[in-house]
């Protein structure tokens, strides 16, 4: 049955890869924006509230959209002190439990953030600073979106874990 779902894992991982490519561009734009803001501020004593807030919004997008890609690529922080000594079955159990816990926590973040985003949207929340960015709910909507991507990535990871035989002695872990 899981072999039938293997193409679904491939589609999800491909989608997460494309999101990862988008976050690379966001990082590049953010670097350019920060460099421009610093240059303008210290060379011409010119600053923009809007541009400064945009830095923070891009950082939020970079983190929230990039965390699923980082997890997919194994670039997350983990402690392998004990894990390295586990048998293949022990590693598989840890991997499955970790994936299920991360899905649970991510779903909780999604659920809790939806009201937060809706409240911001309903009052058309904008920056409190003159010249700041309007539509603050757009950046807040990245919270459930980012954690939704994390859920998708972990579902694909679970499908791969449960579809891979234990005899190879290796397991990709969270």
Tens of pLDDT along 96-143?
999 999 999 999 999 999 999 999 999 999 888 888 889 899 999 999
Q: What's the Cα-to-Cα distance from 89 to each of 73, 81, 159, 161, 168, rounded to whole Å?
A: 22, 17, 16, 11, 11
* Residue 136 lies inside a defined structural domain of this protein: yes
pTM of the model: 0.85
In the predicted model, what is the mean pLDDT of the chain?
A: 89
* Residue 36 lies inside a defined structural domain of this protein: yes
Compute the distance between CA of residue 131 and CA of residue 123 in angstroms, rounded to an integer.
18
Residue 78: pLDDT band (50, 70, 90) is low
- Average pLDDT for 5-12: 88
Question: Looking at per-residue confidence, does 49 or 114 come out higher?
Answer: 114
User: What's the token pair of residue 10?
Assistant: 């491939």
Does pLDDT of 76 surpass 80?
Answer: no
Compute the distance between CA of residue 145 and CA of residue 151 in angstroms, rounded to an integer.
10
* Residue 173 lies inside a defined structural domain of this protein: no
* Residue 62 lies inside a defined structural domain of this protein: yes
* Residue 64 lies inside a defined structural domain of this protein: yes
Compute the distance between CA of residue 91 and CA of residue 85 in angstroms, rounded to an integer.
9
Task: Report CA dihedral (8, 9, 15, 17) to the nearest 10 degrees.
Answer: -160
* Residue 140 lies inside a defined structural domain of this protein: yes
* Residue 103 lies inside a defined structural domain of this protein: yes
Amino acid 91: pLDDT: 87
| Segments forming the whole domain that contains residue 126 | 2-168
Number of domains in the chain: 1
* Residue 174 lies inside a defined structural domain of this protein: no
Amino acid 154: pLDDT: 96
Amino acid 166: pLDDT: 72
């Amino acid at each position: 049955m899981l072999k039938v779902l293997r193409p679904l894992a491939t589609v999800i991982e491909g989608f997460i890869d494309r999101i990862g490519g988008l976050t690379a561009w966001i990082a590049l734009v953010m670097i350019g924006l920060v460099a421009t803001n610093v240059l303008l501020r210290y060379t011409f004593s010119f600053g923009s509230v809007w541009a400064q807030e945009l830095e923070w919004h891009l950082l939020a997008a970079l983190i929230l959209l990039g965390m699923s890609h980082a997890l997919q690529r194994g670039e997350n922080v983990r402690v392998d002190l004990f894990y390295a000594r586990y048998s293949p079955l022990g590693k598989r159990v840890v991997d499955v439990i970790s994936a299920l816990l991360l899905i649970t926590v991510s779903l909780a973040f999604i659920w809790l953030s939806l009201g937060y985003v809706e409240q911001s949207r309903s009052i058309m929340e904008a920056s409190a600073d003159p010249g700041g960015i309007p539509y603050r709910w757009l950046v807040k909507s990245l919270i459930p979106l980012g954690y939704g991507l994390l859920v998708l990535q972990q579902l694909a990871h679970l499908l791969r874990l449960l579809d891979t035989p234990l005899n190879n002695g290796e397991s990709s872990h969270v």
